[in-house]
Structures are given as structure tokens and as C-alpha cells.
Structure 1
Amino acid sequence: MKGIKIKDVEIIWLGHSSFKFNNSTVVYIDPFVLPEKAEKADIIIMTHEHFDHCAVKNAEKIIKDSTVVFTTKGCADKCGFDTEVIGAGESREAYNVKIEAVEAYNTDKPFHPRGFGFGVIVEMGGVRIYHAGDSDFIPEMENLRPDLALLPIGGKYTMDIREAVEAAAKIRAKITIPMHYNYIDDTKVKPEKFRESLSEKAPDIQVIILSPL
């Protein structure tokens, strides 16, 4: 399964941390992975400046004149197109889509210090989606209350399966989808282990493992 639909919102995992949301408005997050013929974007969100998130060349493939791009200053400085810089604690709205940047950082690793990037809550079509960006399990996750959580599980640069299980149990989204694994070095894991572990800790949370597009 490559995607799911909640109400009228289609959620497609493109691979790694790359997602496309669509309910006639097209939103991409971290378009490091794109299909060969990618639909143009209304909104692009890039959560920080690392190459596998701030994918400038791929963003150029899906930009049109009316596309709105939200990202960090570090990523914006790499872009040759208009962007709007946002950070954790800031909210924006475009195309009737609400975008809230939230904290994302490492607690015991050097890769993503606080303020370097953000996670994001996207509200569209009556669905509240949380994309954690590159983050460890952090206290700020507890009060987000999304319908759907997209959580990294690959470890090394982000939380690993054990931490992601703790995070998912605290976040309490009805559905959790794992991401950020098996695409870059040191993130090779089995998502089925995440599903099994979370079902033991919080059996009421549905884990859906998507296949990349």
C-alpha cells in the first residue's frame, strides 16, 4: 500500500521523509524522493537544510508560479526561488491549509540542535497531520493531538524504533506511519518491529506501513 485516505485527504509516502498530501490542494513535505512524473505543488514544506529534506532540485521540478514554499533560513539560503522562512512556534495559512511549525531536535546527538529545523502540523480537509521532521522523542510532542503521526524510526540521525514507540504512545494519534528508514546509511530497520512493539504498548493505535511510491 502506497498511501491512505482520511476523509478527503490522500496521504502518499514517496519514500524516506517525503510525503504528498492531496485533497485538490497538493502539499509536499521534504521532496527528496519524487515520482518520475510528479504533480505540481500548491505548497512545499522543507523541514531543515540537510540534503535529504531541503531537496532544491526536486522542489524546482514541482514548483509553479503560485506555489508557496515554507522552510528554514538555512534551506531558504540554498533556494533560487521564493520561500517563506518559518520556525517552531509559527503558523501560516495558504490555500485553506493551516501549517504550524513545531519543535524538532536531537536530545543526545549533534545532528539537529534545537532551532535547526522543525516538525510540522498540517491541517487540511478536517484532518490534522503531524510530520515530525528529524527529531528524537521530545516533550513537546505530547500535546500535539494529531489524527495522523508520521514518525522517523531509523535511528542514528533521529529516534530509533524504541524511542518512536514511546513517542507514538505519548502523541496518541489514531494512526501512525513510520518514515525515515532504509534510504540512507545507518537507518536500516524493519518497520514491522515498530508495529509489533507499539501494538504491545498501545494496542489502540493503528500502525500502517506504506510502500514508497
Structure 2
Amino acid sequence: MTLKHDELTVEWFGYATVRLETEDGFVAYIDPGRYGVLTGDWEPDTLGVGHPEPVDYRAEDGDVVFVTHNHHYDSDGIERVASDDATVVVYDGVNTEEIDRDVKAVDDLPYEIRRIGEEDHLTVGDCEAWSLPAYNEPNGPHTRGNGEPFHPKGFGVGFLLSLGGTTVFWPGDSDVLAGHRELEVSLFLPPIGGSFTMDRRESAELAEALSPDLVVPIHYNTFSALETDSEAFAEDVESRGVSVALDEE
């Protein structure tokens, strides 16, 4: 399924993989790959959950690719979406030596690599990007049994992107943080799966505070720990006077 918002075409492939294209044909991807969402191998843990159908996808049309943290770094996914002259923007904290999957080192990717810090700004072609902290609060609701965050501060980032006159916010794998509410956002892409990120209720509350033009939830139902009721999320957001669309089959 493909959505239109302002001058953007928006497509969620599953997990955190999102494709954004402007009317001028500039293409950005966020956190491409993992769990078979781009290889056609994804299978739900529970039948009937709302999620895009898996596709064997190799468009290689991305002008810029953004990667938020180790868990979302997938060199194969990047190579499936990035064009030959793409720029790949990778958070400074991504360290492939700490990833227990078969991935290429960031510097071995055949693209222009730009590293970004926790609170940085850069421009790639027609896209402006700002990084923001993304983490779970210690002893908060999204931690291990001992209170240790799944995503400690400094482990990852979110991105605020300006594309074709539209501002897009992907918080990354994060709790709702105080600074989030201060942003001006047109398209909000919240994670709603809970467990490792804000859940559907917390995301709905943030959507109300941000008052974007459209909310498209992502990062849910990929596997059992991320399963949630997306229709209940949509009803919750709409009841707060905010438009929402589910990009799922």
C-alpha cells in the first residue's frame, strides 16, 4: 500500500523501513531491512496481524538512506534501496563490531557515508535532516527486568526530515521524550509496538501534542513482542482530532 501526503509518497515496508518520495523524484529511506521485510521472507508470529506483505525488493533508487542505531543497521537492506550515488547517513553510535548479524562494516558500503551525532543537522540534496536523541528511560516502562533500558541514552537517534516542503518525524526506538513535544511536524511516523519503544497509547498522546497533519504508525506487528492493535491506535488518534492512516495490507 502506498500513501500520499502533501507532496510526498509514503510507503511502509514493515519493521522500521519507510520510503519517502517527493514530487520531484527525490527518494529517502529510513532504517531499511531486517526480519525479511525487504527479502520476501517475513512471516508473522500471529496470523492476521496488520502489516505490509513481504516483498523481494531491490529498487536501488534511494538518494539518501538514514540509519538510527545498531538494531536497524542492515547492510543488505541498504544495498537493496540505495542508488549507486546515494548518501547513507548513519548515526555515530552504530558499531558493526557490536552487531551479532552478518553485516558489512559501514565504511565498506559503496556509497558516500556521512556520520551524524545525537543532535546534529545536515543537508543531502533536497533533504534537510536533524537528529534527535532516542532512548528508553532507566527504570521506565520499556526496560529489561532489571530496569536496564533496551536503548540507553546515546545508543540511537531519531530523525526530523524536511522533504519537498513536508516535515517528517521518525522518533526511532525511543520512549516519548520531553523534547518531542516541541517539534513542528507534518507527517508523524511513530513506533506503536511497545516493548522496546513507546506503545500505541503513548504514541497517541504524543500525536495529540504534536498535532501533525497526518500520523502513519510503523514498527509494529513484525514479531510477537511488537504486536499491538493498530485499529485501536487509529481510533484513539482520530478521537483526539488528528488524522491517521494505516499503511498495511
- State yes or no: 1:63 paired with 2:82: yes
2:70 corresponding residue in structure 1: 49
- State yes or no: 1:175 paired with 2:196: no
Alpha-carbon offset, residue 153 of structure 1: 0.7
Secondary structure of the equivalent of 1:118? strand
Is the CA contact 1:44–1:70 (under 8 Å) kept in the aligned structure 2? yes
Structure 1 distance, partners of 2:2, 2:173, is 21
2:94 alignment partner AA:
C
Which of the pair has more CA radius of gyration? Answer: 2
1:29 corresponding residue in structure 2: 30
Structure 1 distance, partners of 2:89, 2:82, is 12
1:149 corresponding residue in structure 2: 188
Structure 1 distance, partners of 2:238, 2:80, is 39
Is the CA contact 1:13–1:19 (under 8 Å) kept in the aligned structure 2? yes
- State yes or no: 1:120 paired with 2:159: yes
Secondary structure of the equivalent of 2:188? strand
Alpha-carbon offset, residue 60 of structure 1: 1.9
Instruction: Compute the TM-score of the two structures, normalised by the length of structure 2.
Output: 0.78
2:13 corresponding residue in structure 1: 14
- State yes or no: 1:87 paired with 2:117: yes
Alpha-carbon offset, residue 91 of structure 1: 0.8
Instruction: Compute the TM-score of the two structures, normalised by the length of structure 1.
Output: 0.91
Structure 2 distance, partners of 1:132, 1:97, is 17
Is the CA contact 1:106–1:114 (under 8 Å) kept in the aligned structure 2? yes
2:243 corresponding residue in structure 1: 206
Secondary structure of the equivalent of 1:60? helix
Alpha-carbon offset, residue 162 of structure 1: 1.6
* TM-align CA RMSD: 1.6
Alpha-carbon offset, residue 76 of structure 1: 5.6
Alpha-carbon offset, residue 54 of structure 1: 0.7
